[in-house]
Amino acid sequence: MNVITDWFRRYFSDPQAVLLVVLLMLGFGVVLTMGRMLAPVLAAMVIAYLLEGIVAVLEREGGGRTSSVILVFLVFMTFLMFLLFGVVPLLWTQTVELIRELPSYVSTGRDALLRLPEHYAFISEQQVNEIISVLRLHITNLGQRMLSLSISSIPGLITLVVYLILVPLLVFFFLKDKHRIVVWVTGFLPRERSLASHIWHEVDIQIGNYVRGKFWEILIIGVVTYVIFALMDLKYAILLGVLVGLSVLVPYIGAAVVTFPVAVIAYFQFGWTPEFAWIMVAYGIIQAIDGNLLVPLLFSEVVNLHPVAIIVAVLVFGGMWGVWGVFFAIPLATLVNALIRAWPRTEPDDQMPEEPASS
């Protein structure tokens, strides 16, 4: 019992630590219980947070708050329209085309697998047939899922249309009335909140740099991959560019996972030819530039986390919130790291009263 008491006194003797715990519990409680209902608001807050950095730069250059917000918002809407009406239709077309060609890929792969027992005695024809049956079953299920998605996606499309109206509107008001909203929220907090302000300042720097840097990393890697694959006449260049760009969300794991579809599509298109080798070399160069040049340049001010911490964060937050959890796994891990570093603690010796000297 004394161990628990000493631990509690060491880490929670400061009233501001208790305030911080309450704020964290309220924040996570709202996200866990009402996250689905407040999804447009949360998405708008994240987007406004990302755009605030650009607005701040324009304000420092002499632009007014309102004019800077309007300019940034117009650029954001232009980029959003380009994604919706330019990239998404092409991406959907290439995805459907790839699914249609999967049976021919399976047939080609089956012929290649059936030749394996001729070269490797430890592989039997029965094992090859079992592998082919499993692949056919998965491809059939994938085709059925795509068909059911296209038929039963009308409610989802209605929700998407509502989001496309609400989210930009909320983003604009979050940017325009940022100071009023911040003053209103902080009015409910105690005046003495130096610990929470200190942690928020550190987390704001870390998460802001990370999220903005990650956005630019995804954009640069995706565009460069698409351009290189298109110049090398590789099929589904847009689809592969998007996959490679999104793979940077999960360090170490994402690049290894996306290597498989790149290699498979290149193999079925070119076979064991120099073109296949050059495509894999180009993909390796892209990954090398990303890891050795782009990441140090974009994330120079971000706290480096251990690879084990990154993997654990991806597993935990990805399991809790899916794709959004994977995207924000490293920012949330950075938040936890900042909390651990800045959390007030009292040494046990400081709490022990000194005994009077014996006469």
* First-last CA distance in the chain: 34
Highest-pLDDT range among 171-180, 191-200, 208-217, 305-314: 171-180
Cβ within 8 Å of residue 82, ≥6 positions away: none
Instruction: Flag whether pLDDT at 74 surpasses 90.
Output: yes
- In degrees and rounded to multiples of 5, residue 272 shows phi and psi of -80, 75
pLDDT confidence tier of residue 32, bands split at 50, 70 and 90 = confident
Are the C-beta atoms of residues 20 and 195 closer than 8 Å to each other? yes
Tracing tokens 């890891």 back to the chain, one arrives at 291
Structure tokens given for 27: 């924040």
CB under 8 A, 24+ apart: contacts of 285-292: 286/221, 286/224, 286/225, 286/228, 286/244, 287/255, 290/217, 290/221, 290/248, 290/255
Instruction: Flag whether pLDDT at 124 surpasses 70.
Output: no
Instruction: Flag whether pLDDT at 246 surpasses 50.
Output: yes
User: Mean per-residue pLDDT for 192-220?
Assistant: 76
pLDDT at residue 347 in the model: 58
Summarised one tens digit per residue, pLDDT across range 14-24 is 566 667 777 77
DSSP designation for 354: P
User: Mean per-residue pLDDT for 99-110?
Assistant: 74
DSSP designation for 260: H
Cα distance between residue 246 and residue 314, in whole Å: 14
pLDDT at residue 290 in the model: 84
Are the C-beta atoms of residues 166 and 159 closer than 8 Å to each other? no
Total-model pTM: 0.68
Cα distance between residue 291 and residue 145, in whole Å: 35
pLDDT confidence tier of residue 301, bands split at 50, 70 and 90 = low
Summarised one tens digit per residue, pLDDT across range 203-212 is 777 777 777 7
pLDDT confidence tier of residue 116, bands split at 50, 70 and 90 = low
pLDDT at residue 278 in the model: 92
pLDDT-above-70 percentage for the chain:
72
Q: Which residues of 38-73 are buried (b: 16+ CB within 10 A; e: fewer)?
A: eebebbbbbbbbbbbebbeebeeeebeeeebbbebb
Cα distance between residue 33 and residue 29, in whole Å: 6
pLDDT at residue 351 in the model: 47
pLDDT confidence tier of residue 343, bands split at 50, 70 and 90 = low
